[in-house]
Structure 1
């Protein structure tokens, strides 16, 4: 098929580029996408984002030629000249300041093979400074679950969530953010009698299906979880046999929970203490109870502790290691899981082996011919704080940190302090405007490779379109740069993505035994058994991934948010809605999604609106010391008093201009979900009657 621009398209089953559910889609006539029966969307269902996925592929704003900066502005250049500029720029920084002066931004929007090559380039060059946007969404979840359970991924599968008797959804809105997963897996369980407990500061589409809603104040997840844990112990709803056989530290935790005042914790969180008890009973009395968690839990200065508090609930009740149970983070982008699996993180090698592990480094060196560095690198947030100082260059692959990082205005300014920056992307993004070289890469529909979805399924991407203009496939760009930048060009001599995947399966034990042929039109799930050709659906059944029979219970004390509210300020919290996605770089270029967008709204409680003289539909200014954003007020009781909500993809500038950059000490995740802001009617720049 040929589209109106003359580009060739063909229909091949591939994976939707948006959320981490992993729905299969393919090209349909007139530029749309249609669902294909796949491993996750068995009935071929897709959501509005998936239906609009091809809008960006042939968008008129696509980059089709390399851009290099001359005299302060971009001009097009041949590929040879652009690549030479990159080699001179990055190589010059390495020569002058060492490899740790370069930061590599991997991409959870791109394939496992591409991310594997990028992190390999960084490490062969001599640095562990490689990170991806999982840092900004679920790094605290990974930190807590890895420490206690030995693996930071979903403990269960989407399929077996249908078997649960209680869904405890904490800080997530899957009805809007993961709609196919909600409709195909969670909602059927609810219709079969499962109780839904929803912990979220505002009522949303997920809340409509809930039996219990706990509209907590942002930043009080630990108070709520500890109160629920106290009720579980107090009312004898714990699993004594599981505690004895599979946990340690119960006596210490029980003593601490005995001192928890449920009513006081409820008051601190702004919820009804009886609702906390109702939630605890629903969870504790269920034969099988599953926790589903999202960025409302993780994106806090105490995000790791928030997850530790949830892990306590699962361990206290024995809801680990069985179908329909566990702790299940929902990933926000189609390859957040995979980008981390393959080593796109500064402290671990592919397969989550620590860079500090000499034996792990030796195994990698046997494959690469070069031993990776032994010191953990910088996270992407830490790196942007050091631009112009320890960090002098950046390689940004398929990410847009100038708007997705917290305190985004300061981060955008920091890009100007770099000696050199190269961006590989589809569009001239806000980050690309700060680059010295911009290389036009390939969209999701123009490439082959694999991605790993939210429940650990590795699935194949297949091309549906040829490339526009002189754009190149991302894998070809990365391997070409790697051969030019390192003294081991032969280490990056691959005959396509399948050869990269084969190497990955030899380096990352969790993928060992997988193959393109084995994945086929379906999937293979890690950890994978090469001996019998099957993946593990439910983790931690007999032993935890730590190798131990037991996991520790943890005493978790509340941690106050970093932003202390001034008098009259509200707590700003952010999130997605159904028809938009993250920074909006892709969503804004979709005619279908833009038609659904509505206005740039700020949800505000009626009481707060009255106090500020704000009516529904008024333009309001939301501001703090970091910046200011304008939006249209949506006055609604759906958001609790004292809290305001907006998306992080509508306003201009985006809401991340307001978010703070205080970091969780363990996961180094920023506190996106609690920012003190003033909200007031926007001044009329041209009042009636003015001269």
Structure 2
């Protein structure tokens, strides 16, 4: 592999903040540069500084591989393409296009995610999905349904104007440190209140004025208590509620019936502390919510916490202005862009439903083929159908063998597929089942665009050459598109793909490679506009409506029972983890520590530093116990990168011994 070029600037692949980086030949590390769109002072976090610490040469896939007599053997690109073409054509002929599944990755560029979705739909199926949506499924769904968009409502820069923050289900001081230190920390140091809602004390808690540690699964109840205080103490923004909301009277009546003492007991929080924090939030002129994956419910339809947060923002008039809003801090580097590009089973590029005939017709004008009209199942549902309704899968930079499902069942499904092609940079648990493996380039070996967490589209550039015969995902998808579809996959470079993306994605319509340059452009950027939009929902919501609805949040007792010997598992961010982000840089080794409250440790005879077995119904791992009062009693914390064997659907309970 060649040494990266020092003069070329690109975008860090290790989280969704989107810091600009370049290679420092003197140190062999990454460094930022002043005046960058996001990390304006050139700051990088420790993970970003190590962005060029890529996989060792021996770990990389450098040749296409094909399974023969049970073993994966090197073959030419043409042999690999021929096999894929034959197998896909046979499956479509015998079973129809919906027997194919396309599982993508947010680590790929916008152009690559766009082509992946275009390939699936040109073959006649909406069976395309990516982990970006799964990470924030219920939250994004709630935002789309009530506001018209799941995008971060504000820019990072304008969060510096906030007078109060609720950070919930997120640890941005550790997971997105440049964004936290550049925009949130200065506001707090200048007097803004920071309220941290999380069962575990962590790096973000250290800056917080208030830490609320509810029982896992009760965040919605905590936010409902905030709403109760806002209503009881007359902190409602009555002008905003009258002008921009609907359903207030019925909503307020439902809150009035809530017994806050009982709800606080269910959540395991101090009602007096909640009231004090709610006064700080409700009394601020500008108040913002920063949310992460921790606000997700136990299922894709469990949006209670997200809905409660939206109620709070509507009630206090904190949407459509600077220093406010619902700000989803995504983890992986192009989560937003993968969704924007349409690598989703229910949406075309730009977030338009596949059920919208006008949207399908506009896409057909560009593609020459109309996408299917019926939404397809999610990635998890597609994986459940491996070997049954799904006969073949194309896995792009993903590892479905490691998933929040029954692992043995998934392995059986992978083995029972008629055909599996995996495109990745190293071997994974999924390539072990593949019939064809295609070697892909990593972030520093390809060009394109990525979209960060506050909707800024930036350009990535080639800093070094891929090893051996490895190719960019875009080049591979173009070649396969020509073979499987025919016309519509002839592009000279990523810019040509981006130009087509702007033609089918109204949010990107006014963007261009030249306009982005070394800076960024933020969506929505309509055709003919001079610039993008920093703050969403100013005059009307992205839904096109001037008013957004309130939603009643259930506060009844949960019927969930936890056995005396069980603990609830908490996990942290996956940003930059080599174990789960194979298309990234490979930086960072997940910590094999189990944080356990001293009371729970004593009850189980677990000493500090002792090696213990952690077991759930889905798997077991060995970890080193660390007694910590930073985790709530009744819970344990494990880094997400090593927790995967334990995870199943819904809230995970574990036993330690």
TM-score (norm 1): 0.92
Q: Check if 1:15 corresponds to 2:11.
A: yes
Deviation readout 1:540-591 (Å, 9 max, x if unpaired)? 011001111110011021488897423311111111388746626478954x
Contact 2:133–2:335, Cα closer than 8 Å, also in 1: no
SS at match of 2:149: coil
SS at match of 2:487: helix
What residue number does 1:51 align with? 49
Contact 2:107–2:581, Cα closer than 8 Å, also in 1: no
Following superposition of structure 1 onto structure 2, how do residues 343-422 of structure 1 map, counting pairs within 5 Å? 343-422=342-421
- Among 26, 32, 46, the alignment partner of 2:29 is 32
- Among 182, 195, 198, the alignment partner of 2:196 is 198
Deviation readout 1:441-484 (Å, 9 max, x if unpaired)? 11100111000000000000011001211111110100101111
What residue number does 1:658 align with? 646
Compute the displacement of 1:159 (Å).
Answer: 0.2
List alignment gaps of at least 5 residues for structure 2: none
CA 1:436–1:562 in structure 2 vs 1: closer, same or farther (change >3 Å)?
Answer: farther
What residue number does 1:527 align with? 524
Contact 1:128–1:376, Cα closer than 8 Å, also in 2: yes
- Among 239, 242, 254, the alignment partner of 2:240 is 242
CA 1:294–1:250 in structure 2 vs 1: closer, same or farther (change >3 Å)?
Answer: same
Q: Larger deviation: 280-289 or 395-404?
A: 395-404
SS at match of 1:402: coil
SS at match of 2:116: helix
Q: Check if 1:675 corresponds to 2:657.
A: no
CA 1:346–1:251 in structure 2 vs 1: closer, same or farther (change >3 Å)?
Answer: same
SS at match of 2:32: strand
Q: Larger deviation: 440-449 or 402-411?
A: 402-411
What residue number does 2:223 align with? 225
Following superposition of structure 1 onto structure 2, how do residues 66-465 of structure 1 map, counting pairs within 5 Å? 66-298=64-296, 300-301=298-299, 303-465=302-464
SS at match of 1:161: helix
CA 1:582–1:324 in structure 2 vs 1: closer, same or farther (change >3 Å)?
Answer: farther
Q: Check if 1:576 corresponds to 2:573.
A: yes
What residue number does 1:555 align with? 552
Q: Check if 1:606 corresponds to 2:598.
A: yes
Contact 1:407–1:657, Cα closer than 8 Å, also in 2: no
Compute the displacement of 1:414 (Å).
Answer: 2.4
Compute the displacement of 1:381 (Å).
Answer: 0.5
Contact 2:332–2:574, Cα closer than 8 Å, also in 1: no
Q: How many residues align?
A: 654
Query: Equivalents in 1 of 2:270, 2:11: separation in Å?
Result: 42
What residue number does 1:567 align with? 564
SS at match of 2:52: helix
Deviation readout 1:367-388 (Å, 9 max, x if unpaired)? 1110000010121111111111
Q: Check if 1:638 corresponds to 2:630.
A: yes
Compute the displacement of 1:70 (Å).
Answer: 1.1
Query: Equivalents in 1 of 2:526, 2:584: separation in Å?
Result: 39
What residue number does 1:619 align with? 611
SS at match of 2:614: strand
Contact 1:57–1:445, Cα closer than 8 Å, also in 2: no
List alignment gaps of at least 5 residues for structure 1: 662-670, 681-691
Contact 1:169–1:196, Cα closer than 8 Å, also in 2: yes
Query: Equivalents in 2 of 1:250, 1:582: separation in Å?
Result: 46
Contact 1:111–1:449, Cα closer than 8 Å, also in 2: yes
CA 1:632–1:139 in structure 2 vs 1: closer, same or farther (change >3 Å)?
Answer: same
Contact 2:266–2:557, Cα closer than 8 Å, also in 1: no
Deviation readout 1:239-271 (Å, 9 max, x if unpaired)? 111111100011111111011122211111111
Compute the displacement of 1:49 (Å).
Answer: 1.5
Query: Equivalents in 1 of 2:332, 2:344: separation in Å?
Result: 16
What residue number does 2:534 align with? 537
Contact 1:227–1:261, Cα closer than 8 Å, also in 2: no
- Among 497, 511, 516, the alignment partner of 2:513 is 516
Compute the displacement of 1:405 (Å).
Answer: 3.8
TM-score (norm 2): 0.97
Contact 1:155–1:538, Cα closer than 8 Å, also in 2: yes
CA 1:568–1:105 in structure 2 vs 1: closer, same or farther (change >3 Å)?
Answer: same
Query: Equivalents in 1 of 2:67, 2:556: separation in Å?
Result: 46
CA 1:397–1:585 in structure 2 vs 1: closer, same or farther (change >3 Å)?
Answer: closer
SS at match of 2:402: helix
Query: Equivalents in 2 of 1:581, 1:163: separation in Å?
Result: 36
